[in-house]
């Protein structure tokens, strides 16, 4: 857990363009103490959860959630850069479209099954 949190703190610090010394000053600790937090060698980050969250403008739970990984931009093989918020929005739209298609497919299957049953009934009547 210490390594995970330390890595997240390092990523947030670099995103803000801050040095370890600047963050250490903000937390009122030595640079070496702060470096141990970032390197996952110390659990003292828990004592500084509130000021760390304030400095990096995040909710405290973002720092400790297992699935919470903060990424601002994603670069594709073609060199295009997409904002994660845009990608999440597009993903939600795609899911909505797929759900609508699944409903349409299910309705078509039901219609075909009903039509098939009606045709089989007519064939039986004609035989009879």
Percent of all residues in the chain with a pLDDT value above 70, rounded to a whole number: 79
Give me the residue spans of the domains in the chain. Answer: 2-70, 86-127
Distance CA 39, CA 112 (A): 62
User: pLDDT tens across 87-118, in order?
Assistant: 555 667 777 787 888 999 999 999 999 999 99
For the chain, the 3-state helix, strand and coil shares in percent, each to the nearest 5, are: 75, 5, 25
Q: Can you give the pLDDT at residue 23?
A: 95
**Cβ atoms < 10 Å from Cβ of 95:** 10
Could you say which architecture CATH assigns to the domain 2-70? Orthogonal Bundle (1.10)
Distance (Å, whole) CA 87 – CA 83: 6
């Amino acid at each position: 857990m210490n390594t995970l949190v330390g890595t997240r703190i390092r990523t947030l610090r670099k995103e803000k363009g801050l040095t370890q010394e600047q963050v250490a000053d903000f937390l009122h600790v030595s640079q070496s103490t702060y470096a141990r937090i970032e390197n996952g060698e110390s659990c003292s980050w828990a004592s500084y959860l509130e000021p760390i969250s304030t400095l990096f403008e995040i909710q405290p739970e973002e720092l400790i959630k297992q699935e919470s990984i903060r990424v601002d931009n994603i670069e594709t093989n073609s060199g295009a850069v997409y904002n994660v918020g845009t990608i999440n929005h597009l993903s939600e739209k795609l899911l909505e479209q797929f759900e609508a298609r699944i409903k349409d497919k299910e309705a078509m299957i039901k219609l075909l099954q009903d039509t098939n049953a009606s045709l089989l009934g007519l064939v039986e009547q004609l035989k009879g």
